[in-house]
Amino acid sequence: MPTQPSKDLLAVPNPHPGRDYTVTCDTPEFTCLCPLTGQPDFATVRISYVPDQALVELKSLKLYLWSFRNEGGFHEDMTNRILDDLVSAIVPRRITVVTDWLVRGGIHTVVEASHPATP
């Protein structure tokens, strides 16, 4: 099964679109590169959403997260980009993305973004 990393998030039909319900996916297997130093960063990513017409297919989500392995990006930007990509792919009713980064410079950082944004 040597599939490849890919930015293509696959949408599959939501079997219960008549009901608001919540799907949460989290993984500690996220790594990208620091845009300043080129060194690896590591994060746990948690995605929680209320689907409308589509669910995100789990394997494509794995390949999507893998696709950042050799890309650089600041913590805040990464989080919003993942959020934007998921909003485009499955157009959920509500969605929150949280990234929880391993310590850099003695500081532990967590970024949380939602769509629509919580007031």
Instruction: Return the DSSP state at 15.
Output: S
Q: Among the options 8, 20, 32, 34, which is catalytic?
A: 34
Distance, CA of 11 to CA of 111 (rounded, Å): 25
Written as one letter, the residue type at 76 is E
Measured CA angle at 67 (ends 65, 73), to 5 deg: 85
Q: Which of 11, 62, 67, 91 is in the footprint of a second copy by CB under 8 A? A: 62
Instruction: Determine, following the binding rule CB under 8 A, whether residue 95 of this chain makes contact with a second copy.
Output: no
Q: Is 7 in the site for a second copy (CB under 8 A)?
A: no
User: From residue 63 to residue 82, what is the string marking binding to a second copy with x (rule CB under 8 A)?
Assistant: ---x--x----xxxx-xx--
Stated length of the chain: 119
State whether residue 87 is helix, strand or coil: helix
SS3 category, 117 = coil
Residues that bind a second copy (CB under 8 A): 1-3, 14-16, 19-29, 31, 36-40, 42, 51, 55, 58-59, 61-62, 66, 69, 74-77, 79-80, 102-115, 117-119
Q: Cite the active site residues.
A: 34, 41
